[in-house]
Structure 1
Amino acid sequence: MEVATFKAACAACGQEFLRPELSDFAYGDFILCTKSGSDFAHFSVIENPACKLVEPQLPKGVKLTDVMASLADPVSEEPLVSYPVCPTCQSSKLAFWRGEQSGKREVLPATFTQFLELSISEQQLAVQEAVRRVAA
């Protein structure tokens, strides 16, 4: 999917960088980021079969996007997170984002192959472990 990129700035190191952002009309669609901030993946809550398995198991107060990022297959051999990350210093503290639009980039779909290949009981355990990781 081709996604518009916007200028963002890191509050920790001051570096400006481009970050893909979906439009306000992209209901149920989310962009995940690698822990290094160098790559991205997108998923749709409505269309993703993994979401249908995960959502009923979530305790109140736990964000679906956080758990889905934790369960997603790695991108460029890196785990995904649901928040923006500075590609220079890996801080998640941004001074601003959604600044001036500055081009477009391709963002591949997030995959959940490893999770979906588990048995039902293993999927339930994987969701419980993901909830513990994101709640910590």
Structure 2
Amino acid sequence: MKLVLFEYTCKCCGNFYKAPQINPYAYGEFLLRKRNSPTLRYLDALNTPAYAEVADELRVNEYTRALDDITRADVLQIIFGSAACDPDVDGEPFELGLLPCCTDCGETVSISWQITDPIEFVEKDLIPATFSGWLNLTGRDRKKKVLAVLTRLSRFAPTRGRREEI
């Protein structure tokens, strides 16, 4: 797959490095990343039933159904990797929206990033994300999984019997 290179500056160590991203003009396509690892997975969200199913769960979930569509889409991207994607062989989850890890210190916190100028491309063989765990869950268990991930990862989760405000 043809990816675009971005330039990053690590917030932790100041290292300047390049890493691939999906073309910024692509719609519904994402790279899933792991923390402190260069491992990637590809997601074509528009053609992945699991993505729509997690989105549907968020539309009816008591803690997220009152959110506007844009905020709920943000929540979907925060939780999707942990909720529906199979983890890597080491058991670590993949995440949407995670910046690439620094080539020196391995952290995923950058103070700046931009597309290279002139634009540089790189060809990479990407492994598609898989969803075996999600597909093997019953509808009820999928609801529980979404709630568990919301509770663990998101400010939209229940706390002391109430939903936290945005």
- Contact 1:41/1:110 (8 A) holds in 2: yes
Residues in 1 aligned to 2:44 and 2:153: alpha-carbon distance in whole angstroms? 20
Normalising by structure 1, what TM-score? 0.84
Matched residue type, 2:123: K
- Contact 1:5/1:19 (8 A) holds in 2: yes
Structure 2: unaligned runs, 5 residues or longer: 59-63, 156-166
Residues in 1 aligned to 2:114 and 2:128: alpha-carbon distance in whole angstroms? 21
Say if 1:6 and 1:105 are closer, same or farther in 2 by CA, change over 3 A.
Answer: farther
The alignment's C-alpha RMSD in Å is 2.1
Matched residue type, 1:115: W
Residues in 1 aligned to 2:2 and 2:121: alpha-carbon distance in whole angstroms? 13
Structure 1: unaligned runs, 5 residues or longer: none
The answer to whether structure 1 residue 35 and structure 2 residue 42 are counterparts is no
- Contact 1:3/1:107 (8 A) holds in 2: no
What is the SS of the residue equivalent to 1:98?
strand
Higher RCO (Cα < 8 Å, 6 or more apart): 1
Residues in 1 aligned to 2:89 and 2:19: alpha-carbon distance in whole angstroms? 17
- Contact 2:12/2:109 (8 A) holds in 1: yes
Normalising by structure 2, what TM-score? 0.71
Matched residue type, 2:13: C
- Give the count of matched residue pairs: 136
The answer to whether structure 1 residue 124 and structure 2 residue 143 are counterparts is yes
Alignment correspondent of 1:68: 80
Moved more, 11-20 or 87-96: 87-96
